[in-house]
Amino acid sequence: MKLPASTTAAALAEWLGARLVGDGSLTVTGLNEIHHVEAGDLCFVDHPRYYTPTLASAATVILIDREEECPAGKALLVHPEPFALYNRLVWEARPPVPYESPEPGASVGTGTVVAPGVVLGKGVSIGRDCRLEPNCVIGDGCVLGDRVTVSSGCVVGGEAFYFKRTAEGLIPWRSGGSVWLQDDVFLGPCCTIARGVSSVTVIGRGSKLDAQVQIGHDCRIGAHVQMAAQVGVAGNCVIGDWSILQGQAGIAQNVTLGERTVIMAQSGVGRDLEGGKAWFGSPVQEARKAFRDLVKLRRLGE
């Protein structure tokens, strides 16, 4: 997410009460997590597993819980609770706003129908000839292209299911990203599309989602993808163009599916998959092999 106004590493260190290591004049223009970080961003790290990739990332400023050698061209802000400081920054940049219906700051295109009970958050942008059916919610900062249908009961831009595990319990990570539904997207009743933690969750042009589909934070769903009822896609996944996910298929986090992938009903996907093939089972395998294995198993008793 981008900050409303840029700042410097030194100014942030003073404001947050962190110890500055490195170049305090570096400019910070955004906040991001490690999967989507860009130059100018601040991110945080508080686990040894992620020290090396975070320090080597594109981040300009890094909140960190122990002193490390500062890479050239970066600044470190050392503090025992970097997550708490990061979360504080996101809350400051994206404070809660009371809903009105519709929110006065929302932009609604010509020919768009907004049914009774629809809630539009602050800064929402909706294109032409869209249809928002009763009792759907479009959260702050979400963008809908032209000819988008959002059926009744959908929630677009809900907070990410993203928590920090601490001794005191599970602390919610404030989601600073948004959602972009591109042109001609269709959402069936009661779909839920989580906003990005720090970037944008994207549903690609012409994709169609059946009822009760869940898309996690920061996902990139390609163009003309079809998802049948009750599909669940965890955070930070990439689904290639023209893919088909049949009913109740589940995709674990950080998985990439190639173009024209078919995931058959009730399959569980926990790894990247090559496109242009059909897959079945849990754990998933190529469908032809899965069906051959099932035949062999049935014959064992004979």
- The reply to whether 217 belongs to the active site is yes
Which tokens hold the place of 91?
A: 């809350």
Sequence-distant (6+) residues with CB within 8 A of 78 are 18, 19, 20, 21, 64, 65, 66, 67
- Complete DSSP assignment for 139-169: -TT-EE-TT-EE-TT-EEEEPPS-EEEETTE
Span between the terminal Cα atoms of the chain, in Å: 60
94-126 in b/e form (b: 16+ CB < 10 A) is: beeeeeeebbeebebbeebebeeebbbbbbbbb
Distance separating alpha carbons of residues 97 and 32, to the nearest angstrom: 22
Cis preceding-peptide flag for 283 (omega within 30 of 0):
yes
Q: d(Cα 41, Cα 171) in Å, to the nearest integer?
A: 23
From the candidates 36, 47, 217, 224, which is the catalytic residue?
217
DSSP state of 273: B
- DSSP string covering 244-258: EE-TT-EE-TT-EE-
Beta-carbon count within 10 A of 59 CB: 27
144, β-bridge pairs: 126, 181
Catalytic residue IDs: 217
